[in-house]
Amino acid sequence: MSAPVVTLYGRPGCSLCTQADEILAPLARRLGFVVRPVNIETDDALLERFMFEIPVVALGQQVIARAPIRAGFLEDALVEALGRGR
């Protein structure tokens, strides 16, 4: 079975996106998911949808968190979304 993919929508030069990535890295190891960064500037629809909300963390079509990303909230939301007990 492959690991779930958590998407991090952001753009280059976004310090909040970098912070979100730094929060996600240890969570990915602990909770067993893969982080897939997506540059919203490469897709007009994504740019329009998320331009003022990045970083955005999603599991499939479910948005888990939007800026500002708080570590504790993000971890709790991912545990719930992934169905992982602590």
| pLDDT grade for 57, boundaries at 50, 70 and 90 | very high
| pLDDT value, residue 85 | 58
Q: What is the pLDDT of residue 35?
A: 97
How confident is the model at residue 86, as a pLDDT?
52
- Residues spanned by the domain of 56: 5-82
Does the pLDDT value for residue 12 go beyond 60?
Answer: yes
State percent of the chain over pLDDT 90.
93
Question: Phi and psi of 23, rounded to 5°?
Answer: -75, -40
Q: How many domains does the chain have?
A: 1
Do 33 and 60 touch, CB atoms closer than 8 A? no
pTM: 0.93
- d(CA 10, CA 30) in angstroms, rounded, equals 23
Pairing of β 34-39 and β 5-10? parallel
Residue 48: pLDDT band with limits 50, 70, 90: very high
CATH number of the domain encompassing residue 13: 3.40.30.10
